[in-house]
Amino acid sequence: MKNVKVLGSGCKRCEAAADLVRAEAQKLGVEIELEKVTDYAAIAGYGIASTPGLVIDGKVVHAGGLPKSDDVAKWLMA
């Protein structure tokens, strides 16, 4: 199971990023545990200055704007 954190304030882009991760995981048959991190200190702890950010299994894979579906699929399969 992949641990996925969506870092952001909870804005529309952050919600869209979470939805995108869920959809890609379901399409690929990858089980995920999705957590939304909205605490600014925690977000800063990952070195993220621009949200939404994605952390998969403890590794920052994306920051700022919506990631592409293909990239999310690649990260989930890694």
Tens digit of each residue's pLDDT (9 = 90 or more) over 18-40: 999 999 999 999 999 999 999 99
Place of tokens 């070195």: 47
Length of the chain as a residue count? 78
Enter the pTM of the model.
0.94
Looking only at the bridges linking them, the beta strands covering 2-7 and 53-56 are antiparallel
Among 2.40.50.140, 3.30.70.1880, 3.40.30.10, 3.30.430.20, name the CATH number for the domain at 2-77: 3.40.30.10
pLDDT computed for residue 3 by the predictor: 98
CB 33 within 8 A of CB 2: yes
